[in-house]
Structure 1
Amino acid sequence: MTQPSKPVVTVLTAPGEQEPPGMDAVRSRAEVRFACDEQTLRDTLPGTDIMMVTDFRTEALKAAWGSADKLRWIHATSAGVDALMFDELVSSDVVVTNARGIFDRSIAEYVLCTILMFAKDFPGSFRLQTRHHWKHRDTERAQGNQVLVVGAGSIGRQIGRLVTAIGMTAHGIARTPRNDDPDFVAVHGHDSLYEQLGHADFVVIAAPLTPQTEGLFDAKAFRAMKSTARLINIGRGPIVKTDDLILALRNGDIAGAGLDVFEKEPLPEDHPLWDMENVIMTAHMAGDFIGWKRALTDQFLENFDRWHSGLELFNGVDKTLGYAGSPTTPA
């Protein structure tokens, strides 16, 4: 008797990126192929049923889309899926899922740490330490401050939960307002953004990059914020207009910024943000805990088993919105 053929899974990595850990478990369930750019993807896509995309910046899939003859499901090992939301994929029957849930707690811990670093002026302490200079200062209390989380999804709710635990007040911004979220005092609609910016001591961007959020934080948004407020961006770099942010920081429109993502990555060595004392920066690593790569493969495998059984996939992306929505069943 002829054995049924295994489904074909193509893994699209960034050029030079190593194979994700745990792939032997995938090989036991499927034929696995690897691609790292447009040409290798054109070679591997024919016959591919499923794609696992680890390169969240890739444009290779859009370029090689014409070679996808059997593709039914794409899983992005990232929370953001903006690089995959090109017209041909959005209008197709191909299901898209993402890595929602893997990074939520780690990112929320990063945000809480950044808030406390600003409140307790750890950047100033580090600078004094490097000069061996003893200087006593008074610092702020985080308790009682208001945090506005722009993007009140799963990551945003974790942020709201943690900042509430230390006595801060959490408000959210989302596409649909809601007053029954246990992690926020209230979740306001997008049309209330500028009003809510004026109340917040810390503004946290946790929204996905979509046509509606690209460039959302510009000079107008910074003017709406308190001059004592700090901006924290763990969403996507292009949500913030960097030139406007630099001017706002220099002019005192806002007091500081904690940035993990940037319009251009890596950030050029001569970029003015490096030398600004009211800026805390990291290299797009807010959610990356020890063992995260294996956790992503395990999550894919859990969904793969559901796909193989014809069950609903979790973390289904609403392709018209560009972020995870309700569960979905592959075509």
Structure 2
Amino acid sequence: MRELKKYRWKQVFLFAVIICMIFAGRLHAILADTYTDGRIVVKHEELKVKKNGQYIQGQHPYELQGNSITNALSYIYFEEKGLLKKTGTLRVFQDDEIRKLVPLIIQAFSVATPSQVVAVSSFSERMLLTDQQNYCILFIFDNSLNIVFSRVHMFQTYNDAMSEKKRYTATRENPVRTKKSRFWKLVPTTGQRLEPHHENWLVIDLSDKIYQQPLAQRVGTVEEKIKVGTSDLDARLKKLEEKMGAADESKTPQPSTPANELREDSKMKSKLTLLREMVNEGIISAEDYDHKKAKMLREAMEDMSIKEQLQEIKDLKSEGLITESDYAEKKKELLDRF
């Protein structure tokens, strides 16, 4: 009888150990499949992905290289739609987002299962109490990186963001079921193509040499953008400035009248307008424009009063020549100096 009781106690003990191990394993799985950095969230999702009429599974787990995924995220562009759209192409992910996203995405892919995708929720161009949100899923199929978006730079207030955070774990948004947006569409570049019948689904060939290149130094603030300029970029911009200066000198001077002064745009606005036209025509890149814009915001208004500078950047923002984040950053700097 004693031996029987002893045997039963051993069974109960082993059963308890097994239950604890199962619970611990489940708890570990719950904690391990979500990776965060501030308000950026990268997690595994069990979502069905249909491609060419058939459900597929990803080639996971997958070891991504840091330079490949960084370059891939850096070269994702979109165009806005609608009457109030900005002209030209815009980057989906900003520099601060990419720096936070890359290690989280690499980690998520390294342990993802074939039935899982990597879901990304991030925010860009933070301005006071507002954000612009990106939401997408990533998976590897046919040796290519697939990125499918359901939100690109979606405007959110602080309350919207908090509500989103609360319901994030309860919802499973599937961007694959979306084919396009009324407000934006992705623009493929080198080594990229759109999935047929989708404006929100990029297929990226990571073996393309552009994604194998060493990381380009990318920075976000005005101060950093000035420091980052390469000698090649500075040389090209210097030649551009000389051409612009020669064009100004070739104009026949006209008598200065109050009416002329009212019609005449500032030199900074004229230069940025010309640079924007060159970006749209493909003469210079968006990076060239951003570098020159940052340099002008720092140096071109030194002979103006703070009040005049505030009015200048307000005009530039209304014309779409600088972004909301450029305006907020410069305004804060000027007010701090006031």
TM-score between the two structures when normalised by the length of structure 1: 0.21
* Higher alpha-carbon Rg: 2
TM-score between the two structures when normalised by the length of structure 2: 0.21
Q: Which has the higher strand share?
A: 2
Q: Which has the higher helix share?
A: 2
